DNA sequence: TGGCGACATAAGCTGGGTTTATGAGCAGGA
DNA sequence: TCCTGCTCATAAACCCAGCTTATGTCGCCA
C-alpha cells in the first residue's frame, strides 16, 4: 500500500546528484568549491542549484561575490536532503556488497532482517575504517547462512533465529525485541496498563506469513496461538497496513524505529510474553574470525 | 565531515524514478503494470530496470512471459530502495510546504528541530487523511513562531523551548530528551554505571554553538558549565564528529535515533541531570485550533 | 489455431546537465 | 588608484539517458 498522491516523486524531488551538491555547498560555503569537490565545473554547479531552486520554488542559497550561504529554507531543505543521501549511501554500500565478487576479502552471509536494517550501517562503518576491504553479501535464512559458512563460501554470518545452527560458534551482538504497535488512533495506543498475553493472543493481528522469523518468535511466545487479521508477505507491507490503521501488529523493534520516532506508529506495552530474540554473529566451530571478519564483528558489538 | 569515499553517489545509485519503478514492480509483479501506474510505457520501464541491473551488477527481477518477480537480491535492494523513497517523500511534502502559498489552508510555524525531524512525518500523515489540504511552513525559533501566530501569519505553531512565549496557549505533544552519546569505541560506551553530572560537566563535549536550543537546555541542566571540545553550527556536523570518534556529545534523542539503531553511536546513561524538554504545539490564547489545524494537532498527539 | 498478456528490441527524438569561454561584482594589497 | 584573485552568472555547443512509437517473440488459454 503506497502513500496516496501518486504522481512520480522523481519529478518533484531533485536527483541525488543535486542533493549531494547542495550538501557540499552547505558544508563548503561556496558553489565553486562544491563543484570542485564533486569534480564538475563551477557553471554546472551554479546551473544545477538554480534549477533545483526553480523546481522547489524556494530560494536555497544566498549568493554573494564572497561565497554562498544557505537561506533558512535552504538549511531545512538541506537537512531533509541529508536523510535521502544517507539512505542512498546505505543503498550504495549494500548494493556493492551484493555483486558477487570472487576476490572479496570478506564474504558475509546474513538473515534478511539483519541484512536489511543493520548491515548497511556496519558496512559504512567498516568502509570508514578500512576503505579498501571488498565485501560481498549473501542474504538468506539461518539454514542458508550455516551452509555457506560450512562450505567456506562465507567468512562470517549473522542470524536472528531462536537457536544456533549446529556446527557454528556464535556470539550475541544485539537484542531484538518484537513489539506490539498500532496506529496512533487505535484504542490500545492510549493504554497505560500493559496488555496481557491472553489479550494479545485473542486479538486478530496484522502479521507476516507463517514461516517468517518474526512469526516464528511470536507463535512460540504465544504458544502457536497468534490470530492473523491479514497475512502479508513483506515487513514493509505489514508496516504500511498498521500505519494506515488496519489494526495492531507485532514487529521487530528494528523495523519500526523510524515510524515510532515520527509517531506514525505507537508501541503498546505488553507483559507476560517473551518477545525478545537474540541477534548473533556466527562462524564455523573453531574458526574464530580473523582479519576483516574480526573487524566487522567488532563493529557490530560496539 | 562527510563520509570517506568521495566519488559522487549519483553515478552509483539509481535515480529516484528508477527506485520508484522498482517498488512498483515489486508490488504489482509486472513491468508493464508498474509502467502503467507510473504513466510511462512498457518499453521504458523494461529498459530502465535493465539499466538499473547493469548499473548495480545484480539481477533484480526474474522475467517470465507471465510476469516478473523479484530475485532474492532484488528483494533486498528493494527494501533499501524503499528507505530512500520514504526519505524522498518526506522531502517532497516538506518542500511543498516551504513554498509560500498565500492560499494555504493551514499555515504552520515550527522550530528547527521539529521542522527537521517531526513535521515531514506529520504532513505525510495529514496528506493521507486530507489529501487536498494545502500546507505552508515557516521555520524559526520560538520568538519567530510566536510573532507569526500573534500577527495571524500562522494558524498553528510548534516550539521546543523551556518556556511558552506569552500570549500563547499550548499543549505538550511529545517529550524530547537530550542524551549523551559517543562512538562505540569510546570508554563511556562500555559503562554500566550511569555518568554523574559532575563528570559530564567536566568533560569536553562536542556541542552546538551557544544560543542553540540544545545548548540552552544543556547549560541550564548543568548550570552553565558545559565545556566544549568543539563547537559546530549544525546538528548534523555534531553528529558526524561524534560518529567519527572525536569525543562524546549531547544531542536530542530525535536527532540520533537512526545512529543509535545502527550502532554508529551509543547512548551513555546519565543521572542527576535534567535533560528532558517538552515539545509543544502553540496557538494564540483563546483561539483554539479548528479545521485543518485541529487535524494536524490531533495527529501529533496520537 | 487465433488471441491475449507480458517482455524484448530497434529507431528516432528531446531535454537536462555538461563543458568551454567569457563577463561582472567585490575585496584586499601594492 | 588599479591590479589580482576570489566569487557567481551567462551563453553556445555537445552528449547521453530516457522517452515514445512500432514491431517481434514467447507462453498460456480458449
| Spatial distance between the Cα atoms of A29 and A164, rounded to a whole number of angstroms | 52
The pTM score is: 0.87
User: Å between A238 CA and C27 C1'?
Assistant: 60
B178 and B271 share one domain: yes
**Sequence-separated (6 or more) residues with CB below 8 Å from residue B17:** A8, A9, A10, A11, B38, B48
User: Å between B30 CA and D23 C1'?
Assistant: 21
Domain count, chain A: 2
- The domain that contains A87 carries what CATH number? 1.10.10.10
* Residues of chain B neighbouring A244 (CB-CB closer than 8 A): 128
In the prediction, which pLDDT does A264 show? 76
B271 and B209 share one domain: yes
Q: How many CB pairs (< 8 A) connect A and B?
A: 223
- Give the residue ranges of chain B where pLDDT is below 50: 1-5
Domain span holding position B146: 106-300
In the prediction, which pLDDT does B205 show? 92
User: Å between A295 CA and D17 C1'?
Assistant: 40
**CB-nearest partner of A302 from B73, B99, B263:** B263
Indicate the length of chain B as a whole number.
302
Beta strands B168-182 and B156-159: pairing type? unpaired
A73 and A116 share one domain: no
Flag if A258 and B254 touch (Cβ within 8 Å).
no
B160 and B78 share one domain: no
What is the DSSP code string of A16-57? HHHHHHHHHHHHHS-HHHHHHHHTS-HHHHHHHHHHHHHHHT
- Pick the last residue of a domain from B47, B74, B101: B101
- Pick the last residue of a domain from B68, B101, B134: B101
Tell which B residues from 79 to 98 touch A, by Cβ distance under 8 Å: 79-92, 94-96, 98
Tell which A residues from 269 to 298 touch B, by Cβ distance under 8 Å: none
What is the DSSP code string of chain B? ---S--S-GGGTS--HHHHHHHHHHHHHS-HHHHHHHHT--HHHHHHHHHHHHHHHTS--EEEETTEEEE-HHHHHHHHHHHHHHHHHHHHHHHHHHHS--TT-SEEEEE-HHIIIIIHHHHHHHHHHH-TT--EEEEE--HHHHHHHHHTTS-SEEEE-SSSPPTTEEEEEEEEEEEEEEE-TTSGGGG--SPEEHHHHHHS-EEEEPTTSHHHHHHHHHHTS-PPEEEEESSHHHHHHHHHTTS--EEEEHHHHHHHHHTTSSEEE-EES---EEEEEEEEETT----HHHHHHHHHHH-
Name the protein residue, with chain letter, whose CA is nearest the C1' of D7. A65
Tell which B residues from 166 to 205 touch A, by Cβ distance under 8 Å: 174, 184-185, 189-190
- The domain that contains A258 carries what CATH number? 3.40.190.290
In the prediction, which pLDDT does B7 show? 62
- Give the residue ranges of chain A where pLDDT is below 70: 1-7, 211, 233, 261-262, 302
Rounded to 10 degrees, the C-alpha dihedral A42/A47/A53/A55 comes to -140
Beta strands B61-64 and A276-284: pairing type? unpaired
CA atoms within 13 Å, Cβ hemisphere of A283: 15
What pLDDT digit, counting tens, does each position of B223-260 carry?
A: 877 888 888 767 777 887 888 788 999 998 888 877 78
Q: How far is A273 from chain B (nearest CA, A)?
A: 23
User: Å between A54 CA and C28 C1'?
Assistant: 35
- Among chain A residues, CA nearest to B118: A262
In the prediction, which pLDDT does B5 show? 42
Q: Among A27, A76, A281, A300, which would you mutate to test the B interface (most chain B Cβ atoms within 10 Å of its Cβ)?
A: A76
Arithmetic mean of pLDDT over chain A: 88
| Spatial distance between the Cα atoms of B38 and B15, rounded to a whole number of angstroms | 15
B230 touching chain A per CB within 8 A: no
- Pick the last residue of a domain from B58, B79, B101: B101
A159 and A284 share one domain: yes
Footprint of strand D on the protein (CB under 7 A): A 30-33, 42-43, 46-47, 49-50, 63-68; B 15, 17-18, 39-41, 43-45, 47-48, 51, 65-66
In the prediction, which pLDDT does A16 show? 96
User: Å between A44 CA and D14 C1'?
Assistant: 14
- Residue A228 DSSP symbol: E
Scan for cell 569534480, then name that residue.
A39
B77 and B198 share one domain: no
Classify residue A4: in a domain, yes or no: no
Footprint of strand C on the protein (CB under 7 A): A 15, 17-18, 39-41, 43-45, 47-48, 51, 65-66; B 30-33, 42-43, 46-47, 49-50, 63-68
**Sequence-separated (6 or more) residues with CB below 8 Å from residue B224:** none
**Sequence-separated (6 or more) residues with CB below 8 Å from residue B102:** none
In the prediction, which pLDDT does B233 show? 66
- Residue A11 DSSP symbol: G
A21 and A65 share one domain: yes
Classify residue B2: in a domain, yes or no: no
Classify residue B1: in a domain, yes or no: no
Amino acid at each position: 500500500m503506497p502513500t496516496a498522491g501518486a504522481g512520480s516523486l522523481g519529478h518533484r524531488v531533485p536527483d541525488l546528484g543535486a542533493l549531494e551538491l547542495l550538501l557540499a555547498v552547505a558544508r563548503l560555503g561556496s558553489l565553486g568549491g562544491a563543484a570542485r569537490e564533486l569534480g564538475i565545473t563551477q557553471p554546472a554547479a551554479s546551473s544545477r542549484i538554480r534549477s533545483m531552486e526553480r523546481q522547489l520554488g524556494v530560494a536555497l542559497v544566498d549568493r554573494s561575490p564572497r561565497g554562498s550561504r544557505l537561506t533558512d529554507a535552504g538549511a531545512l531543505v538541506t537537512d531533509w536532503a541529508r536523510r535521502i543521501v544517507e539512505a542512498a549511501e546505505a543503498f550504495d554500500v549494500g548494493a556493492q556488497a551484493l555483486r558477487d565478487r570472487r576476490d572479496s576479502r570478506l564474504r558475509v552471509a546474513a538473515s534478511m532482517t539483519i541484512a536489511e536494517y543493520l548491515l548497511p550501517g556496519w558496512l559504512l562503518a567498516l568502509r570508514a575504517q578500512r576503505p579498501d576491504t571488498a565485501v560481498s553479501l549473501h542474504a538468506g535464512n539461518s539454514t542458508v547462512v550455516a551452509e555457506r559458512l560450512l562450505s567456506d563460501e562465507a567468512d562470517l554470518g549473522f542470524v536472528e533465529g531462536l537457536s544456533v545452527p549446529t556446527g557454528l560458534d556464535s556470539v550475541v551482538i544485539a537484542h531484538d525485541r518484537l513489539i506490539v504497535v498500532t496506529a496512533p488512533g487505535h484504542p490500545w495506543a492510549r493504554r497505560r496498563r500493559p496488555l496481557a498475553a491472553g489479550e494479545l493472543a485473542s486479538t486478530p493481528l496484522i502479521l507476516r506469513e507463517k514461516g517468517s522469523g518474526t512469526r516464528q518468535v511470536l507463535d512460540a511466545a504465544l504458544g502457536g496461538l497468534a490470530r492473523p487479521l491479514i497475512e502479508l508477505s513483506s515487513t514493509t507491507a505489514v508496516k504500511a497496513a498498521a500505519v494506515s490503521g488496519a489494526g495492531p501488529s507485532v514487529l521487530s523493534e528494528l523495523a519500526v524505529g523510524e515510524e515510532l520516532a515520527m509517531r506514525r506508529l505507537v508501541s503498546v506495552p505488553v507483559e507476560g510474553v517473551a518477545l525478545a530474540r537474540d541477534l548473533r554473529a556466527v562462524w564455523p566451530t573453531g574458526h574464530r574470525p580473523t582479519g576483516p571478519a574480526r573487524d566487522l564483528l567488532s563493529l557490530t558489538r560496539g
